[in-house]
Structures are given as structure tokens and as C-alpha cells.
Amino acid sequence: MSTATGAVSPLRRSFATLPVSVWVPLLAMTWVFVNVLLVRLGFQTGFQATCGLLAGGIDGSILASILLATLGDKLQAGTTGLLSGYGLHDATSKFESTKQYLIWIHDHSEKVLVVLLGPNEDFHKAVQAEVLWMAGTAGIVMLLTLFVQLIRTAGSKPAADH
């Protein structure tokens, strides 16, 4: 029986030959372009909420993967508690806290938004609503991923009296 060592697919082999300092920024840039593309697609098709949910799901999955790969068990548990406390409070107040943060960001970046998106304030608010969908979905995906990981690690530890 033979076993393959290293990257088998041509795509994985090409990434393995690139230094980390090259392929990580390329993946990050791709991630940003996918988000921008989904926002644009949402406005062209009229399905802003659907594209916002899809982009938020992708963002939440990537961020949760980063958190799981970099944080220890105790920090994952703390992050889960922090996200669940914020998420529960925000959900019961109809995401008012997140809306307030987005309005604050919008007010402080108005000049940049006018240059990039034009002076149409209704369009700015529509983008703001789609970003709210993205942020809410990303937060929920991250919370659920961390919660499942917390349950998995707690269930795999032996009992203290054995």
C-alpha cells in the first residue's frame, strides 16, 4: 500500500511552493473581493438579504476557523461567552447595538463613502443594511462554531474522579 506525502492536488502543490507571506495576503484579498462581489450581486439582483446572509456565513466560517486555530480552550470558552452575551443582548434589542455601530462608522466615513459610492444617501443606507445582515450572520456562525467546539472539547475530557 502506498501513501501520499505532501500536497497531492496541483492547486495544493502550487500553494505549498509559495511562501506564506505571499499566499496569505492573496487569500485575504480574495476574501475581500468575494464580499464586495456578493454585496454588488445583492444590489443588482435585488436579493440584498440573501447575499448578505451568504457573505456573512462565509465570513463567520473563516473567522471561526481562525479563532479555533489560534486560541486555546480557555480563550475559546471566553470568546464564546463574550459572543453569546453580546449576541443575546443584541438580538433581544433587535440588533440596535450593531445598527448604532454601523451608523457611527457611516458618520465617520461619510467623505470616503461619497467618493466611492456617490452622494446617494439611500444607497448608503441600503449598503449599511446589507452589512448588518453580514455582521449578524457572521456573529451567529462564529458563536455556533465556538459553542460546538466548546461542547466537543468538554465531552472529550475524562472525568476528574477516574
* Residue 6, in any domain of the structure: no
* C-alpha closest to that of 97 among 110, 114, 85: 85
Asked if residue 5 is part of any domain, the answer here is: no
- Average the pLDDT over 56-61 and give the result: 90
Q: Is residue 87 very low, low, confident or very high in pLDDT (cuts 50, 70, 90)?
A: low
pLDDT score for 6: 54
Q: How confident is the model over 59-83, as pLDDT tens digits?
A: 988 888 888 888 777 777 777 777 7
In a domain, 162, yes or no: no
Domain of 44, in residue numbers = 11-156
Number of independent structural domains in the chain = 1
Tell me: the pLDDT tens digits for 113-140? Answer: 788 778 888 887 888 888 888 887 888 8
Residue 18 has pLDDT above 80, yes or no: no
Say if residues 48 and 129 touch (Cβ distance below 8 Å): yes
Give pLDDT, residue 7: 54
Q: What is the dihedral of CA 135, 137, 140, 145, to 10 degrees?
A: -110
What CA–CA distances, in Å, run from 104 to 99, 107, 115?
9, 5, 18
Determine the average pLDDT of the residues in 82-86. 72
Question: What pLDDT score does 132 carry?
Answer: 81
Residue 125 lies in a domain: yes
pTM of the prediction? 0.67
Is the per-residue pLDDT at 57 higher than 60?
yes
- pLDDT reported for residue 134: 86
Residue 44 lies in a domain: yes
Residue 150 has pLDDT above 70, yes or no: yes
